[in-house]
Amino acid sequence: MTWGIYWMFYHCPDCGKKFKSGADMITEPTFGRCPVCNAEGVLIGESKEGYPADAEDYEDTAEY
């Protein structure tokens, strides 16, 4: 099994948006920021630890 993209899962404290950022995007200024309101997200979990059961509800910020 391979991990593929290493995801970081975030929850926006302002609008409640669930989103995820691939660790390959960590150098981007938008990394870990809400795609809706640009607030700094609260880290919920990541691929290795705390992988959320509802992971598919988290939007990939790389699509923006």
Q: Which stretches of the chain bind Zn ion, using CB under 5 A? A: 12, 14-15, 17, 34, 36-37, 39
CA distances from 31 to 2, 42, 45, 48, 54 (A): 23, 12, 15, 18, 21
Q: Are 8 and 23 in contact (CB under 8 A)?
A: yes
Q: CB 44 → Zn ion: shortest distance, Å?
A: 14
Q: CB 42 → Zn ion: shortest distance, Å?
A: 11
Q: Are 37 and 10 in contact (CB under 8 A)?
A: no
Beta carbon nearer to Zn ion, 17 or 20: 17
Beta carbon nearer to Zn ion, 3 or 54: 54
Q: CB 34 → Zn ion: shortest distance, Å?
A: 3
